[in-house]
């Protein structure tokens, strides 16, 4: 009991009425929440801001098998599409389709820039949702599933510091995944179809020098629009010990948002759905850059994400960690 009293009176009171099996869990939980300040006063050289450094967390996440597998899938997609175009004969290189209009798919093989935009278009709606949900939803729940979360907190790592480190690393890996796909597609498309201007579905072309900044802007907006999925997955990750539940819940609710956006009977209410603006990045690929849709989508996405991140930090600060 004396060892528990060193962690704070709150933990000692909790342990006094608990069984022997619950005592260890309550002590570890108290070490993570209230004992950090006591340890900071007794342990020489202790700095809360230096616990769980970002480089350590990033290295841990980088070495995980699911990170390497997800990176391999995203990097392989452009080559799969190149093979599909070669086997199927490819689109008409910018010629009008059967309805007289040119789509992104029709001009996919016009240049490396067109191919990169096509890959971004076919993957932004669902494929890029998966790595964001995976990196943000698996980060805290996996520690609980491995029964290592309470030991991290007993190190002692402050709860806010633990969440902050994991969130920053998860968002960093999510951004890397979103950037990886169009970057590989641009390199592979340039090798397969050559370097040239970006042919626009609305008519006209963008010079290659102007197309690259526009493509970068589109990628940035895709990342910002995925912050809602990131916030939802991260919040669920702090509420459950099952990583699959957090990841699957975030992906499932994102799909529900896409379905609701397709219900035209909702009218203007659809504008409050993040899915309604997920393809607003196409405005960056117009002859005249259009900001309206991207600004509205970014504001909505960031607003939802801030609320979800705040709920995650608030709930985790009060949660009894027993796993």
Q: What pLDDT, on the 0 to 100 scale, is given for residue 204?
A: 80
Q: What pLDDT, on the 0 to 100 scale, is given for residue 100?
A: 45
Angle 270-239-163 from CA coordinates, rounded to 5°: 95
pLDDT along the chain (323 residues), means of 10: 37 36 38 40 57 80 90 94 84 50 76 93 90 91 74 71 90 95 95 90 82 93 95 92 89 91 90 90 87 93 96 84 62
Asked if 138 contacts 169 with a C-beta cutoff of 8 angstroms, the reply is no
Record the pTM.
0.78
Per residue, the 3-state secondary structure of 199-216, as one string, reads: ECCCCCEECHHHHHHHHH
Q: Please provide residue 199's backbone torsions phi and psi, each rounded to the nearest 5 degrees.
A: -80, 130
Q: How many other C-beta atoms lie within 10 A of the C-beta of residue 120?
A: 24
Q: What pLDDT, on the 0 to 100 scale, is given for residue 75?
A: 94
DSSP 8-state symbol, 97: -
In a 3-state reduction of DSSP, which class is residue 162?
helix
Q: What pLDDT, on the 0 to 100 scale, is given for residue 150?
A: 67
Asked if 175 contacts 216 with a C-beta cutoff of 8 angstroms, the reply is no
Q: What pLDDT, on the 0 to 100 scale, is given for residue 42?
A: 47
End-to-end, the C-alpha distance of the chain in Å comes to: 21
Q: What pLDDT, on the 0 to 100 scale, is given for residue 21?
A: 37
Whole-angstrom CA distances from 139 to 7, 173, 236 are 27, 11, 10
Residues 6+ apart with CB under 8 A from 141: 236, 237, 238, 240, 241, 242, 243, 245, 246
Query: Token digits for 8?
Result: 């704070």
- Sign, Cα dihedral of 53, 54, 55, 57: positive
What residue ranges in the chain does DSSP mark as E strands?
198-199, 205-206
- Which residues does residue 199 pair with via DSSP β-bridges, in sequence order? 205
Q: What pLDDT, on the 0 to 100 scale, is given for residue 315?
A: 87
Neighbour-count burial for 257-286, b at 16+ CB within 10 Å, e otherwise: bbeebeeeeeeeebeebbbbbbbbbbbbbe
Residues 6+ apart with CB under 8 A from 160: 313, 317
Q: Is the peptide bond before 156 cis (omega within 30 degrees of 0)?
A: yes
């Amino acid at each position: 009991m004396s060892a528990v009293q060193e962690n704070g009176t709150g933990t000692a009171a909790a342990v006094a009425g608990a069984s022997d099996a619950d005592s260890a869990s309550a002590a570890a939980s108290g070490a993570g929440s209230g004992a950090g300040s006591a340890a900071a006063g007794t342990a020489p050289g202790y700095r809360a801001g230096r616990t769980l450094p970002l480089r350590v967390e990033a290295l841990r996440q980088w070495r995980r098998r699911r990170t390497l597998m997800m990176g391999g899938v995203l990097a392989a997609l452009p080559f799969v599409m190149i093979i599909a175009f070669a086997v199927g004969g490819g689109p008409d290189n910018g010629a009008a389709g059967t309805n007289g209009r040119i789509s992104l798919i029709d001009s996919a093989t016009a240049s490396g820039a067109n191919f990169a935009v096509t890959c971004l278009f076919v993957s932004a709606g669902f494929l890029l949702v998966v790595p964001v949900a995976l990196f943000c939803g698996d980060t805290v729940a996996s520690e609980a599933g491995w029964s290592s979360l309470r030991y991290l907190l007993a190190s002692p790592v402050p709860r806010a510091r633990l969440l902050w480190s994991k969130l920053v690393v998860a968002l960093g890996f999510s951004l890397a995944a979103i950037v990886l796909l169009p970057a590989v597609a641009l390199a592979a498309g340039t090798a397969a179809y050559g370097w040239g201007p970006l042919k626009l579905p609305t008519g006209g072309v963008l010079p290659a020098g102007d197309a690259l900044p526009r493509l970068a802007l589109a990628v940035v907006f895709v990342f910002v629009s995925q912050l809602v999925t990131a916030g939802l997955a991260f919040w669920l990750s702090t509420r459950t010990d099952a990583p699959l539940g957090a990841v699957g819940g975030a992906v499932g609710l994102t799909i529900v948002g896409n379905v609701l956006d397709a219900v035209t009977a909702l009218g203007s209410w659809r504008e409050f759905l993040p899915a309604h603006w997920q393809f607003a990045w196409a405005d960056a690929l117009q002859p005249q850059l259009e900001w309206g849709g991207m600004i509205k989508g970014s504001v909505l996405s960031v607003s939802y994400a801030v609320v979800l991140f705040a709920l995650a930090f608030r709930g985790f600060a009060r949660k009894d960690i027993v796993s």
